[in-house]
Amino acid sequence: MKTHKVTLIPGDGTGPEIVEAVKKVVAAAGVSIEWETVDAGADAMEKYGTPLPLQALESVRRNKVALKGPITTPVGTGFRSVNVALRKELDLYACLRPCKLYPGIKAPHDGVDLVVVRENTEDLYAGIEYAAGSPDAEALIAKHKGKIHPGAAISIKPISPSATQRIVKFAFDYALKHNRKKVTAVAKANIMKFTDGLFFEVARKVASRHPQIEYEERLVDNMCMQLVVKPRLYDVLVLPNLYGDIISDLCAGLVGGLGVAPGGNFGDDIALFEAVHGSAPKYKGMNKVNPIALVLSGVMMLEHFKETEAASRLENAVAAVLAEGKTLTYDLGGSASTLAVADAIIEKMQDCKIVDGR
Ligand code: NAD
């Protein structure tokens, strides 16, 4: 059996608890993984003076695959997001967030199965921000006299042809590989004519090279309404960073919430898997949050390793636990613990082995 080496970033808040649950279920799926655990986030800040130590980055660069628990980002002050920094430093330009409704989960619509492809490296997440009263902010206010209120803080939103080209290409390649029929580009090009306008313009060019896949454009405000009312019309969505972040949470709400929404971040040769949700710090240490979002991110990791059989065994076990509805965490209406859900998933995998005679 091949052993895969994976960098493990437990994260903080409820991260370490769900990471433990995932390690357990992945081992039970029959895949051999050597985990290389590294620190990042607030604890790393205390230990190394930086929330993203070089050792963590080097480990991911060396192993090429990482599984990550969520990391808290202080609001307003403190260090910048480690999650954003990891994606930028490792050039993990594509964020893939499948939103599939599993039977048993109560949701507003049946049959939702769409995929959000979010650009990860630019847009308002580029980290180019000028604090209120700073010389750069004041200079911009003076330059754009009358257009910016006095005392404003300012963020810059870069959207480039190269980053747009590669994310839209990623979305079409994904659609082709997974037999998806349609790609919808989402932006707000009626208002941000140059930045979001460029996003659509480049997307249209990439789409013209993939005539077998339907292509359409939606304005992001209308997209929110459409997704809430008729999500089954959509298949693969491709969006700039900020809209992608927001729409991912909306889509998570369509399939049972953040507790079941997985994700993966991809560069040319590195992949980092993490749930859509954050560190849910109020539940830290309570063994209470849903591990399924990170377990399904683990399924994506196994697919990435081409451990196809183990990946479907694990996904089927998750689906069986959800369909049975007996062992669910609070967010899905149950009262089971994080570890009880992991154990129920493991039990389902064992039941499958007995049924299959394997
Ligand atoms: P959150 O995702 O942590 O929580 C939002 C809501 O969803 C809360 O009610 C929470 O309890 C619930 N929730 C989240 N995950 C759950 C799970 N697995 N099971 C059941 N319920 C779950 O979002 P937030 O409160 O806005 O952010 C908390 C911190 O996480 C912030 O510091 C934020 O910056 C950070 N964050 C990190 C990541 C990441 O690591 N990729 C992503 C988003 C937010």
Q: pLDDT tens across 139-193, in order?
A: 999 999 999 999 999 999 999 999 999 999 999 999 999 999 999 999 999 999 9
For 49-103, the DSSP string reads SSSS-HHHHHHHHHHSEEEE------SSSSSPPHHHHHHHHTT--EEEEEEEPPT
Q: Which of 254, 287, 307 is the last residue of a domain?
A: 254
Same-domain status, 221 and 340: no
pLDDT, residue 7, reads 98
Average pLDDT, the chain: 95
Same-domain status, 112 and 213: yes
Query: Domain tally for the chain?
Result: 3
Same-domain status, 282 and 239: no
**Among this protein's residues, is 93 annotated catalytic?**
no
Its domain, for residue 64, covers 1-101+259-358
Structure tokens at 67: 């599984």
Nearest to 259 by CA among 344, 322, 310, 348: 322
Alpha-carbon span 166 to 203, nearest angstrom: 10
For 291-354, the DSSP string reads -HHHHHHHHHHHHHTT-HHHHHHHHHHHHHHHHH-SS--GGGT----HHHHHHHHHHHHHHHHH
Same-domain status, 152 and 184: no
Same-domain status, 85 and 169: no
pLDDT category, 290, cuts 50, 70, 90? very high
Instruction: Report how far Cα 348 is from the mean position of its chain's Cα atoms.
Output: 26
Mean pLDDT of 324-351: 97
pLDDT, residue 22, reads 97
Alpha-carbon span 29 to 317, nearest angstrom: 10
* Bridge partner list, 333: none
Catalytic residue among 23, 100, 102, 125: 125
- Beta-carbon count within 10 A of 357 CB: 5
Same-domain status, 144 and 74: no
Q: What percent of the chain has pLDDT over 70?
A: 98
Same-domain status, 113 and 218: yes
Q: Which atom of ligand 1 is nearest to the CA of 292?
A: 18
**Among this protein's residues, is 249 annotated catalytic?**
no
- CA-nearest residue, atom 24 of ligand 1: 278
CATH number at residue 30: 3.40.718.10
Q: Which of 254, 286, 315 is the last residue of a domain?
A: 254
Q: Which of 209, 232, 254 is the last residue of a domain?
A: 254
* 258-276 per-position pLDDT tens digit: 999 999 999 999 999 999 9
Same-domain status, 175 and 240: yes
CATH number at residue 243: 3.40.50
Residue of 86, 279, 294 best suited for mutating to test ligand 1, as the one with most atoms within 8 Å of CB: 279
Mean pLDDT of 321-342: 97
Q: Could you identify the residue written with the tokens 């313009």?
A: 201
Same-domain status, 195 and 287: no
Nearest to 267 by CA among 121, 119, 92, 117: 92
pLDDT, residue 74, reads 81
Alpha-carbon span 61 to 29, nearest angstrom: 26
pLDDT category, 357, cuts 50, 70, 90? very low
Q: Which pairing describes strands 236-239 and 113-119: parallel, antiparallel, or unpaired?
A: parallel
Structure tokens at 88: 């930028």
**Among this protein's residues, is 125 annotated catalytic?**
yes
Alpha-carbon span 157 to 242, nearest angstrom: 10
pLDDT, residue 358, reads 42
Q: Is the dihedral of CA 285, 287, 290, 293 positive or negative?
A: positive
- CA-nearest residue, atom 4 of ligand 1: 280
Same-domain status, 266 and 286: yes
Burial category of 172 from C-beta neighbours within 10 Å (exposed 0-12, middle 13-18, buried 19 and up): buried
Same-domain status, 8 and 75: yes
Q: Could you identify the residue written with the tokens 């991260």?
A: 15
Same-domain status, 174 and 51: no
* 104-146 per-position pLDDT tens digit: 999 999 999 999 999 999 999 998 999 999 999 999 999 999 9
- CA-nearest residue, atom 42 of ligand 1: 278
* Non-local CB neighbours of 31 within 8 Å, separated by 6+ positions: 4, 302, 305, 307, 310
User: Using a 6 Å cutoff on CB, does residue 293 contact ligand 1?
Assistant: yes
- Beta-carbon count within 10 A of 128 CB: 13
